Amino acid sequence: MNTNIQIAKDIYWAGKIDDREVPFHRLVLAKGTTYNSYLLKTGKPTVIDTVDIEFGREFAELISSMIDPLDIAYIVINHTEPDHSGGLAALAAQATNATIVCTEIAVPELQEMYKLHGRNFLIVKDGDTLDIGGKTLLFKETPYLHTEETMITYCVEDKILFPCDIFSTHVAVKQLFDDEAGFDITEDFKGYYSAIIHPHRRYVRTLMDAVRDLDIQMIAPSHGFILREDVRKYIGLYDSMSRDTMQGKKAAIVYTTIKNNTKKMANLLRDALTENGIETEVWDADKSPAADILASIISADAVFVGSSTRYADMIGNLETILKELLTMNLEGKLAAAFGSYGWSGEAIEVIHDYLKQTNMTVQSTSDVIKSTGMTHVEFPIRVRFSPKDAEKAQKIKHAADFVSDLLLSSL
C-alpha cells in the first residue's frame, strides 16, 4: 500500500487497491475496485471509513505505520457494509481510545458484526458537526443510499465530501484522482451509478438536498477515483440520472373486500401512485363490469390485485377476473398482489400464484431483496386488519413507490 497519497492538508488516503475481478452484489467487477479510507491527521486524529473485511489486518498495519493508533480519536463509519467497515475490528483493537462515529441505526450493526459492544460510540444526526481539532466534520444522513444507516461526511475547512459508496467508481486505479486517470471516467462513473445507486434513485433526491448548499471542491468516495476536476458535473449526473424519465404511465387496481380494509389498501395504493404521477383506476370486482376491469388492465402498465381472505380463499368475483388474465397477453406489465387479512391471508398468496401464471412481471420480496438489497419493500403487500396505522400505511406506500420508480425510469 502506498502511504504517501495526500489529498489535502493533513488528509491522507489509506486504502487498498483490489485489482482482482471482485465478486460483488452478484456482479463481477471486471476492473476490480479500491477501498478508500482516509486518515485526517488533525488535533484529534480521525479515520473516515476502512477497507474490505478481507484486508482488515493489512489496513490496521497501514494505519499504524502512519500514526500511533492510540492517538486516533475518532473512526467515522459512513456505511456498515463490510467492504468499508471491514477494517474496523482490526483497527479498533489497536485504536483503543477511538470513539466510533456513525448513525443510530449503524450502532447495533457494527456492535454485532465486529463484537464492539464495549466500545464508545458517538451517534450523529443529520446536520451534526464534530470538531476534530483544526477541522470540522459535518454529517448528513442519506438513508437507503444504498442502505438504511448510510450517512455522508463533509470536511468544512477543506470543502471535501466523503460520501462512501456514493459518487464511486469500481476501478482498481493506481492514479487516484480523476484528472490523472488518463481517460474519461464518465462511463465508469455512470456504470457504478446504474448498478449500485439507481435502484435507490428516489433517495438520490435526499442526497441532492443534502449537498445543494455545500461548497464541494473535492469528492473523496470509498471506491475508485477521487473527484476534483469537475465536481459539479458528477453531482449533476446523479441529479439527472435519478430523475423520472418516463411519462403517461397507468395502473389498474382491482380488489374485493369484506370489511373495507382491502378497499382502504386499494385507495392508499391509488393515492401513492397518483402522487407519483401514475394515472390510476380502482375497481371493486364485485361492483364493476368485468369488461371494464379487463379494459383497464389492458391499458395499464402496472396491475395490483387484492382480496380479503375468507376461509383461506379469495372472495367475490375476483377469481373470474384472474382466470381471464390467464388467457391474455400481458407482457411488459408489472403486477403485485395485496390484501388485508385477520389470520393467515391465504387469498393474497393465491392471487400471487395466479399472477405468476400470467406473463406479467410479478413483484416479490425475494426479487426486491436480490435486485436492490432493500428490506423495507415487501410483495405481496399484506396488512393484518385495518391499514389505518402509520406503519401499515407506510408499507403500502413503499410498495407503490417501488413500482412507480420502476415505471418512471428508462435506465
Q: Is 188 in the site for ligand FEO (CB under 6 A)?
A: no
Q: Is 148 in the site for ligand FEO (CB under 6 A)?
A: no
Question: Looking at beta carbons only, is 374 or 393 nearer to ligand FEO?
Answer: 374
| Type and span of the H or E element at 283 | strand 279-284
Which member of 16, 41, 119, 146 binds ligand FEO (CB under 6 A)?
Answer: 146
Shortest separation between residue 169's beta carbon and ligand FEO, angstroms = 11
Shortest separation between residue 84's beta carbon and ligand FEO, angstroms = 6
Q: Which of 345, 165, 153, 179 is nearest to 265 (CA)?
A: 345
Shortest separation between residue 49's beta carbon and ligand FEO, angstroms = 9
Q: Could you give the CA distance from residue 248 to residue 359 in angstroms, rounded to a whole number? A: 22
Contact 76, 150 (CB under 8 A): no
Annotate each residue in 24-63 with x if it binds ligand FEO (CB under 6 A) or - if it does not, as one string. ----------------------------------------
Size of the site for ligand FEO (CB under 6 A): 7
Q: Which of 383, 296, 300, 305 is nearest to 337 (CA)?
A: 305
Length of the chain measured in residues: 411
Contact 191, 25 (CB under 8 A): no
Q: Is 16 in the site for ligand FEO (CB under 6 A)?
A: no
Q: Is 382 in the site for ligand FEO (CB under 6 A)?
A: no
The residue number with the shortest CB distance to ligand FEO is 81
Q: Is 270 in the site for ligand FEO (CB under 6 A)?
A: no
Question: Looking at beta carbons only, is 191 or 277 nearer to ligand FEO?
Answer: 191
Q: Which of 280, 258, 286 is nearest to 268 (CA)?
A: 280
Question: Looking at beta carbons only, is 15 or 306 nearer to ligand FEO?
Answer: 15
**Cell 500514526 appears where?**
67
Shortest separation between residue 141's beta carbon and ligand FEO, angstroms = 16
Q: Is 79 in the site for ligand FEO (CB under 6 A)?
A: yes
Q: Is 165 in the site for ligand FEO (CB under 6 A)?
A: yes
Q: Could you give the CA distance from residue 293 to residue 305 in angstroms, rounded to a whole number? A: 11
Please return the burial class of 38, using the count of CB atoms within 10 Å of its CB with bins 0-12, 13-18 and 19+.
buried
Which member of 16, 41, 84, 201 binds ligand FEO (CB under 6 A)?
Answer: 84
Shortest separation between residue 206's beta carbon and ligand FEO, angstroms = 17
Shortest separation between residue 16's beta carbon and ligand FEO, angstroms = 12
Residue by residue, DSSP assigns 24-81 as ETTEEETT-EEE--EEE-SSS-EEE----GGGHHHHHHHHHHHS-GGG--EEE-S--S
Please, which of residues 310-349 interact with ligand FEO by CB under 6 A? none
Which member of 81, 141, 178, 405 binds ligand FEO (CB under 6 A)?
Answer: 81
Question: Looking at beta carbons only, is 81 or 281 nearer to ligand FEO?
Answer: 81
Contact 141, 101 (CB under 8 A): no
**Given strand 136-141, what is the order of strands in its sheet?**
129-131, 136-141, 151-155, 160-162, 218-219
Shortest separation between residue 62's beta carbon and ligand FEO, angstroms = 19
Q: Which of 92, 44, 89 is nearest to 71 (CA)?
A: 44
How are beta strands 33-35 and 16-18 bridged, if at all?
A: antiparallel
| Type and span of the H or E element at 304 | strand 302-307
Please, which of residues 199-228 interact with ligand FEO by CB under 6 A? 223
Shortest separation between residue 199's beta carbon and ligand FEO, angstroms = 12
Q: Could you give the CA distance from residue 332 to residue 182 in angstroms, rounded to a whole number? A: 42
Shortest separation between residue 58's beta carbon and ligand FEO, angstroms = 18
Q: Is 198 in the site for ligand FEO (CB under 6 A)?
A: no
What is the binding site for ligand FEO (CB under 6 A)? 79, 81, 83-84, 146, 165, 223
